[in-house]
Each structure stands twice: as structure tokens, then as C-alpha cells.
Amino acid sequence: MQGRERGRDPGDGALLELIGDVCGLLDIAELRSGLLASLHRVLPSEFVSLNDIGPGPGEVVSVMEPDMPQLHARWAWHAHENPLLRHHQRTHDGRAYRFSDVIGRDELHELPLYREVYAPMGVEHQLAFTLPASPERVLAVALSRGGEDYSEAEREFANRARPFLIQAYLNAIAYEALRSERAGVSAAPDLRTLMGAGLTVREAEVVRLLALGRSNHHIGAELRISDRTVGKHLEHCFRKLGVSDRSNAATRAWELAEQDAARSGRNGAVS
């Protein structure tokens, strides 16, 4: 394979920043957007993209930043040629790999995919990995740039982050299913219902937004409090609700809303 420049090492601080950015995102669309933005920041790239594949046949959500709609058709036609996709299909290894790990530069340049898609984009290097949720559903992430190749430290950074990102993806899928199940209950858990479970007004506001899939950052912005204060409120809420994490707190909030809706229905029934 071709030689590589040394490149940058994102470091432990960037890893904590990435985990903090995405692990609180329960809404699947918000997770996709937040993950791309965070990866773009900690692993500087000209392009970041993802494909959320499954669970049903043909179910794919594709997002790229910045988008290049003029290349969509050519990408769809040549996507199967991507050497990292072929490597994953052959090995079923979802860890992070670079073009330079699996194909030489001259061989890459001979691919129609390179000539028709990557060359017009100015892309010479790519780093890609997958976040599996089940045999039927997986999130594939790719970062692309010209100039300097992704360093060994950057590849290792992606692999260190990957277990945390997988858990964030699993949480978002579980929340998506929960929200679908509770869709007929109400637009959101009512503050009075949450306060009836022992939460203060502010704690109820925080949990209500959490149940709607908001991250700590977005909760703080909406309530005009710091991310740290949001975290403290959530610690108190977890204890009062008898749960240990965000996903279970959201589940409990929707259960309380469902119970409240059922009681209201009984009380309002005409005999």
C-alpha cells in the first residue's frame, strides 16, 4: 500500500467530546445529524456521510455533509465498487479502515467510482466503519478528504469511539420504537404527570424534553440552563424514577403518560 503521512492524533479529550455530543441523542434523526457534525469536528474531513440501513429490505436513509446532489446518480451506480464496502462484505469486520489499508493508490484511481465520483469531489482518502444494531440494521459511516491520509492514530480513535457510538445507536433505535408505541398516548408526557411521580417542576421539564429525544445540550438551550445543570437534574430524576439511564428514564416518562391517559379515559367514560 502507499505510504502515509503522520497526520494528527485527536486524543482523549476529543474522544470524550465526541461521546458527550452523541450519547445523549435519543432521536434517530438528531443522532444522525449530531454524529456527522461531531465526527466532522474531531476527524476533520471534506465530506462526512452515513447510510442507516434496514431493518426492512430497501430501507436506507443516506445523509452527506456537504451534500452534492449532482453526484447522487453516479454514486448509486458505482457504490458497489467502493473498496471499503467490498472489504466489509468479504470480512464482516465493522472496524474502521482506510482506502490505504485495502487498496493501492493506482488501483483506486483505475476504478470508475474514483473517476466518476471521488475525483470530481477531490477525494483521495476515506475512513469508514459500521455501527451494527442487529443482523438487519446497521449504520455505515464514511469520512473522506483529499490531501493527507487519515493517520493510524485517527483510525484507532474511530475504533475507540465505535463501542460508545454503537450504544448511542442502539439507544436511539430503542427510543424510536418506544415513541412509535406511544404515539397515540399524547404529544408528550404532561408536566403534572411527571410531577406526580415526585419530580420538581424543573426536573419534570427536563425529563419531558428527554422523553422527546432531546440531548442535554438542546435541553439546556431550551430551558436556558447549562449542560452541567441538566446533568445534575437528570441524576436526581433517575433516582426518583427508579432508573439508571436516559433510555429507561424516557421509557418511564412515556409509561406514566400512558397510565395517565388510561385513567383519564376511564374517568371520562359515560356509563
- pLDDT confidence of residue 234: 94
Query: CA angle, 173 as apex, 171 and 176 as ends, to 5°?
Result: 110
Are 116 and 148 in contact by the 8 Å Cβ rule? The answer is: no
Give me the amino acid identity at 21. D
Q: Residue 3 — pLDDT band, cuts 50, 70, 90? A: very low
Domains along the sequence of the chain with CATH: 11-176 (3.30.450.80), 182-262 (1.10.10.10)
Q: What is the pLDDT of residues 65-93, one digit of tens each?
A: 998 888 888 888 999 999 999 999 999 99
- Residues 45-57 have a mean pLDDT of 89
Of the pLDDT bands very low, low, confident and very high (cuts 50, 70, 90), residue 269 is: very low
Contact 124, 146 (CB under 8 A): yes
List, in order, residues 6 or more apart from 227 with CB less than 8 Å away.
216, 217, 220
Q: What's phi and psi for 169, nearest 5 deg?
A: -65, -45
pLDDT digits (tens, 9 = 90+) for 111-122: 999 999 999 999
Check: pTM over 0.75? Answer yes or no: no
Contact 258, 183 (CB under 8 A): no
Find out whether 263 and 256 touch, Cβ atoms under 8 Å.
no
